Amino acid sequence: MGVFRYILKRLVSILGTISAVLALSFILMHYAPGSFFSSANLASAMGTLRMENAHLYASYMQMFRDRYGLNLPLWRQVLEYVWHSLSFNFGNSFENPSVPIMEQLRTAFPISAGLALGSIVLALMVGFPLGVVAALRRNTWVDSVLTTLSMAGQALPSFVLAVILVLVFGVWMPGLVPVNGWGTPANVVLPIVCLAAGNVGVVTRYMRGSLIESLRQDYIRTAEAKGVPYRSVVWRHAVRNSLTALVTVIGPSFAFTVVSTVWVENIFSIPGLGTLLSGAFVDDDIPLAITSVFLLCLMVMGMNLLVDLSYALMNPRVRLE
């Protein structure tokens, strides 16, 4: 009963937080300078129409405001956009009004989620053993090298690494790996590498710190005093108790990696969520921008909830209150 009460309390908190973030985002976009019609893709066309036929221009603008509710008071616009987002009724974007945003998400989101999941798996496959080696060789040159590389991976933005990989495999070694496009397994190699680089550094550092802390515990010294082989002490006791630290990393990292695909997908010409949402804020496409904010908040807070529940399953001493 306590678990269900905890989940209900967290869901109410998540809904309240998302509502506040959406309302603030909408107000900021409302008062930001410029509009959708002043963006580069429409400024010249609408300016010409306004000069040639002012009446038709005014009629078109009025029809546009009526369709999207932009002629309503600000407080009502905020409430309607927040309610529609929470009910997953995102409506239509300014840029592509003929296709509902939900239909666009059904096509784009699986691509970005697949890239993010692949990068997390790659980060675990590389970062986990590196973190174990760094912990077992702590305060040596091996530890220093691995720690430096992990920090460099975290410091290097994914879009910078993407540009470097495009230069290497598109100019210096062309044809070895595709640098753009989508549809074949080879197209995911470079994007996943770019997205995984930072996560490898995070996993390595978390695993190293957690394992070092576990190796200092009393039960490790007790096992060594009883004559348990060192390999069994490390893998059966220390490493297993250090895995809870990775749970803290994996959940939020997945959510932020999905958002990181915005730049990577544009560089590699991948028709995912990043390509769909990248121009929303630049073009003042309010429905699409609010949708992107909603998805980010939902993924981050949803993953945090799953992390807390996983802690309770992995460690019975953790109480959910």
- 73 three-state secondary structure: coil
pLDDT given at position 46: 58
Instruction: Tell me the pLDDT of the chain averaged across its residues.
Output: 81
Q: Express as a percent the part of the chain with pLDDT over 90.
A: 3
| 104-278 CATH pick, 1.10.3720.10, 2.60.120.10, 1.10.240.10, 3.40.50.300 | 1.10.3720.10
What is the value of pTM for the model shown? Answer: 0.80
Q: Which residues of 38-48 are buried (b: 16+ CB within 10 A; e: fewer)?
A: ebeebeeebee
Phi, psi of 201 (to 5 degrees): -65, -40
Cβ pair 171, 92 in contact under 8 A: no
Q: Per residue in 28-69, pLDDT tens?
A: 887 877 665 555 455 555 556 666 666 666 776 677 677 777
Query: Which whole number is the average pLDDT over 228-235?
Result: 79
Q: Per residue in 165-206, pLDDT tens?
A: 988 888 888 878 888 878 788 888 899 999 888 888 888 888
Q: Per residue in 98-134, pLDDT tens?
A: 778 888 888 888 888 888 889 989 998 999 899 889 9
- Is pLDDT above 60 for 299? yes
pLDDT given at position 90: 84
pLDDT given at position 122: 92
pLDDT given at position 282: 72
pLDDT given at position 20: 92
Q: Can you give the residue ranges of every domain in the chain?
A: 2-86, 104-278
**Dihedral in degrees, nearest 10, Cα atoms 266, 269, 275, 280:** 60
* Structure-model confidence comparison of residues 94 and 110, the more confident one: 110
Burial of 207: CB neighbours in 10 Å, binned 0-12, 13-18, 19+:
buried
Residue 184 per-residue DSSP state: S
The residue among 178, 187, 170 whose CA lies nearest residue 271 is: 187
- Is pLDDT above 80 for 279? no
The residue among 191, 207, 288 whose CA lies nearest residue 244 is: 207
pLDDT given at position 244: 77
